[in-house]
Chain A
């Protein structure tokens, strides 16, 4: 691997200049009318580009770029359906359909946090506390995904070990978050958004031009379908420009359920109930600003998630054409002429003989697909003749089987070092803008939604308590990021958080905005059912998460899922089960419980009274 390797003086200067500029913009935010609330108070509107970039920078994090980009490197362009949902659902529907009622009801009820919006809409302190606790407990998981995304790139770009990189990345973002990033300063978000766009555009242009153009690059990738590693083919991977095989009742369809239910649906729908995004709708002046943010937001999301998914997929073509040489012994030919083969990777000993390269975690021989370039006869470790082939393979091989490392490996291998630095700025920007919003929400949940409500809502919690809660959340996020280093953990943490938010909050949130019939009991029951069914599925059914946590093995004498014997169910995301249950609960309980008071409904929906 041709990692760039070390931190140079130039790197440090560029990063410091960036941090100083962000610090200066943050300071301007304190001095003048630079936050969304300030604009509103002054009776003016933030520029739509500023507003959309700020929203987009909060929406998109290192998790999307590194985590889901890496997933695209492993699973392919089927992830573009998530980009499509992010544009249509995350931008268009969110702004046009949910933005205005959220803003209007939020202002009428004086709500400043997402739990407070739900709590006041349903006149329920229990709902506010429940939502606040949930956010406080699970937001660190999503924050850990964001931190890991930045850290794995810093490891590749600067040659640091993971823990050191995590500490540095965590300290930079923590300093930013605690020292001022919490005050949602739109200029800093917008600058970060612009840097993110620049980084992604350079990446897209470089990738397609280095592979001969759009059609040529895509065609080359399409023709690589038989190079998909065997373990991925076994679960339905049909190539990087093809959807996974669809069907039911056989493990060869497992990938479809992972990609479609967890990644595309869970994240694509879950964005509508993201607490840190919902509160943004309340900071705009009128529906006009929401309308105006749609075009800029759509372009921003297209670039920020479309590019990593396309380049992540195309990194396979780049490594197949330009990647470092690999050496191996043919296990099976994939094509009759032997130009493509499955090989056991070999490495050369000091005495010139060759032995199998053992996969460190598994202790087994490393068997990978290879585009064979040359063949020659060498001596193996027993001094017997061995036909050694030289060639190149696909991204996941160079990333040592870890999807999270596909994008960092590609960028440090394929692009010039200066771009690595720009990309690090991109990731730092993406992480800072998202983390600042996450911890803003976490702090207000702890203070305003939990402590203040537990004290009867009479006096605001002390600043010290809120700050302690934020620091606790940060420590928790760093600890999770440090401890959990499994395959594509970034995307999984993100999907878990988004799915939980969708199943727990979405029915009560949408019902609260549009229906006069949804009751307090219905909303609370729906949230509880959504949470319990999601957690049940994660702990006992969904194999990857359940087996990592271990409860299901303990309860079933070693099974990794309660439904282990029924193929495909253990791959289905909790959101597919929990969200419908939550919706049904909302409707059924609301139908049998007393309607909200007419005066409260009139306050929420004056036009319909």
Chain B
């Protein structure tokens, strides 16, 4: 099928777009879930991260 005789290579050829499709569906299904509030530790981390980047 698809011009590929070896079942293992054929499977990989099919599984690549299939895994991408499932990832797409998974992402869309969970699109609006788990939007968490920013904690003080998150802000503190981001502030420090900006300083680390600026140092570079």
Contacts and interface: CB of A to CB of B under 8 A. Distances in A.
A607 to B, nearest CB: 13
A interface residue count range (under 10 / 10 to 19 / 20 to 34 / 35 or more) = 35 or more
B19 to A, nearest CB: 5
6 contacts: A112-B48, A241-B3, A241-B9, A288-B31, A295-B26, A299-B24
Given A92-B19, A214-B3, A81 B49 contact: no
Given A37-B49, A241-B3, A440 B28 contact: no
Nearest to A213: B3
A437 to B, nearest CB: 12
A88 to B, nearest CB: 5
B9 A242 contact: yes
Contacts of B28: 295
Nearest to A239: B6
Contacts of A221: 3
B19 A41 contact: no
Interface of B: 2-6, 8-9, 12-13, 15-17, 19-20, 23-24, 26-28, 30-36, 38-39, 41-50, 52-56
B36 to A, nearest CB: 4
B23 A41 contact: no
B42 A77 contact: no
Contacts of B17: 302
A183 B26 CA distance: 31
Contacts of A128: none
Interface in A13-39: 35-38
A216 interface: yes
Contacts of B6: 238-239, 241-243
B32 A77 contact: no
Contact of A216 (B3, B16, B43, B54): B3
A92 B26 contact: yes
B2 A107 contact: no
B56 A215 contact: no
Contacts of A77: 4, 9, 12-13
A292 interface: yes
A46 to B, nearest CB: 12
Given A38-B50, A110-B48, A448-B52, A287 B26 contact: no
A322 B3 CA distance: 20
Interface string A440-468: 10011001100000000000100100100
Contact of A285 (B3, B24, B42): B42
A291 B30 contact: yes
Contacts of B20: 87, 298-299, 301-302
What 5 A-B pairs have minimum CB-CB distances, sorted nearest first? A218-B3, A219-B3, A295-B27, A298-B23, A287-B34
Interface string A265-291: 000000000000000001101111001
A215 B53 contact: no
A452 to B, nearest CB: 11
A601 interface: no
Contacts of A96: 26
A469 to B, nearest CB: 11
A492 to B, nearest CB: 22
A43 B40 CA distance: 11
B3 A110 contact: no
B38 A84 contact: no
B12 A80 contact: yes
Contacts of B48: 110, 112
A43 B19 CA distance: 32
Contact of B35 (A84, A282, A286, A440): A286
B50 A37 contact: yes
A282 B19 contact: no
A230 to B, nearest CB: 21
Contact of A106 (B15, B24, B45): B45
Contacts of A283: 49
Interface string A206-248: 0000000011111111100000000000000011011100000
Given A37-B49, A291-B30, A222 B39 contact: no
